[in-house]
Amino acid sequence: MTVKKEKNGKWSCQFYYQNAQGERIKKHKRGFATKKEAENWANDYIRQQSNNLDMTFAAFVEIYFNDMENRLRENTIRSKRYIVDLKLLPYFGKMKMAEINAAQVRDWESKMMAKKNGYSQTYLRTMFSQLSAIFNYACNYYDLASNPAKRAGTMGKDHADEMNFWTRDEFETFLTGVRDKHMSKMAFLTLYWTGLRIGELLALNFNDIDFENKTISVSKSYQRIEGRDVITEPKTEKGKRVVTLPDFLVAELKEYTSHLYGYMATDRIFHCTKSYLEHEMLRGIKASGVKRIRLHDLRHSHASLLISDMEQPALLVANRLGHEKIQTTLNTYAHLFPNQNRELADKLEEVYKKQKNYDKKKGNK
């Protein structure tokens, strides 16, 4: 390895490494502030190419993201990067992957849980899950002996203790605060009565609405990323689905789209962003006086409508919301299924009694 100072005062490094095919490759990189920085970068790069877990956590993270960027949606990668850069790298960045242990993970957890303003339980779990995912990746593909995050134990909770949502009356009251803007009112109506994800709603075009059969076909998702409109696949494979519509919503959508002059069949019918709807929601809450909830909580409001008001079974709710697994529905909305839990217990009682009666009859013969 050759490390030298350039005329501009910066440092550069030049070295050879062997790639996965056994080829000898020359690497040259400039722009380092110090000689030590150049040497560390070169050593980590060589370890990356040889799958040597003697590299730092920060270096391994780059391997992880280089692979994940080809497998996950751009917005998902951005969210992961944010957590890794701000919550994981400041603590683990300079540690060697092979030497990180459960005690260090627990120390990091303690620091996260002790933050002055406090993170929510769900965000604590999100941070932990990302850390564990990186170690799982190292175990599965780079022969790390075990996942220290698993041994340390989780922090936070998958779901909040209390879920915010609006009742039908609260939602109708909220609508009075946004009825002056047709697109806003129609977007919120569709979200509340279908349970679509925000990105799914914003990706809808004329071709997705079947007024005759009263359905919406969900096949894509929209995000605004760094000034670009990005259309991707739905969040999960089950996200591709057909959602049935009540008659009143069909009529509302038909009336709304009739005013979209000059639109092509493939144009988005809600020509706005998530940020716009978030601002509109705050405006409507302030004007109507209803309790404050998040934009995503309209999806929870729809689930509550299906489960608490209409007593729909978990499988139907899961299919309508596009959950990949019914367990997701059960875990998220367990507190809304008291009747189903009681019915399950009653059926178990029936099975028990039938067995007891059978045993008695058998004993009498």
Mapping DSSP onto H, E and C, the string for 277-302 reads HHHHHHHHHHHHCCCCCCCCHHHHHH
Query: 313 pLDDT band (50/70/90 cuts)?
Result: confident
**Does 189 have pLDDT greater than 90?**
yes
262 inside domain: yes
Helix (H, G, I), strand (E, B) or coil at 217: strand
Q: Does residue 119 sit in the same domain as residue 201?
A: no
Contact 152, 113 (CB under 8 A): no
Cα–Cα distance for residue pair 89/356, rounded to 1 Å: 61
**Does 8 have pLDDT greater than 70?**
yes
Q: What is the pTM of this model?
A: 0.69
Q: Does residue 261 sit in the same domain as residue 130?
A: no
The residue assigned the tokens 């299919």 is: 319
Q: Does residue 177 sit in the same domain as residue 293?
A: yes
Contact 280, 184 (CB under 8 A): yes
Q: Does residue 128 sit in the same domain as residue 173?
A: no
The pLDDT, as a whole number, for residue 83 is 95
How are strands ordered across the β-sheet holding 24-32? Answer: 2-5, 11-18, 24-32
The pLDDT, as a whole number, for residue 55 is 83
**Does 244 have pLDDT greater than 60?**
yes
45 inside domain: yes
* Token reading at 155: 């922090």
The pLDDT, as a whole number, for residue 339 is 59
Strands 221-225 and 228-232: antiparallel
The residue assigned the tokens 């919120």 is: 188
355 inside domain: no
The pLDDT, as a whole number, for residue 70 is 78
* Token reading at 71: 């497998």
Backbone torsions φ then ψ of 160, nearest 5 degrees: -65, 150
**Residue numbers of the domain that contains 148:** 58-158
The CB density around residue 173, as the number of other CB atoms within 10 Å, is: 16
Final residue belonging to a domain, choices 131, 158, 185: 158
Q: How many domains does the structure of the chain reveal?
A: 3
Top mean-pLDDT range of 28-37, 242-251, 346-355:
242-251
DSSP characters for 201-232? HHT-BGGGEETTTTEEEE--EEEEETTEEEEE
In tens, the pLDDT along 57-84 reads 998 998 899 888 878 888 889 899 999 9
Q: Does residue 34 sit in the same domain as residue 83?
A: no
115 inside domain: yes
**Does 116 have pLDDT greater than 80?**
no
* Token reading at 13: 């490094």
Share of the chain above pLDDT 70, in %: 90
Query: 47 pLDDT band (50/70/90 cuts)?
Result: low
359 inside domain: no
Q: How far is CA 90 from CA 41, 87, 108, 328, 332, in A?
A: 17, 7, 10, 32, 32
The pLDDT, as a whole number, for residue 296 is 93
Q: Does residue 251 sit in the same domain as residue 103?
A: no
Q: Which helix (H) or strand (E) holds 58?
A: helix 57-68
Cα–Cα distance for residue pair 184/179, rounded to 1 Å: 8
The pLDDT, as a whole number, for residue 251 is 96
Helix (H, G, I), strand (E, B) or coil at 25: strand
Rounded to the nearest integer, the mean pLDDT of the chain is 88
Q: Does residue 216 sit in the same domain as residue 311?
A: yes
Query: 183 pLDDT band (50/70/90 cuts)?
Result: very high
114 inside domain: yes
Contact 209, 257 (CB under 8 A): yes
Cα–Cα distance for residue pair 274/206, rounded to 1 Å: 20
CATH number of domain containing 324: 1.10.443.10
235 inside domain: yes
- Of residues 146 and 311, more confidence is placed in 146
**Does 365 have pLDDT greater than 60?**
no
The residue assigned the tokens 């919550």 is: 87
Contact 144, 113 (CB under 8 A): no
Query: 226 pLDDT band (50/70/90 cuts)?
Result: confident
Could you tell me which residues come within 8 angstroms of residue 89 by beta carbon, excluding any fewer than 6 positions away?
57, 58, 61
DSSP state for residue 70 in the 8-state scheme: T
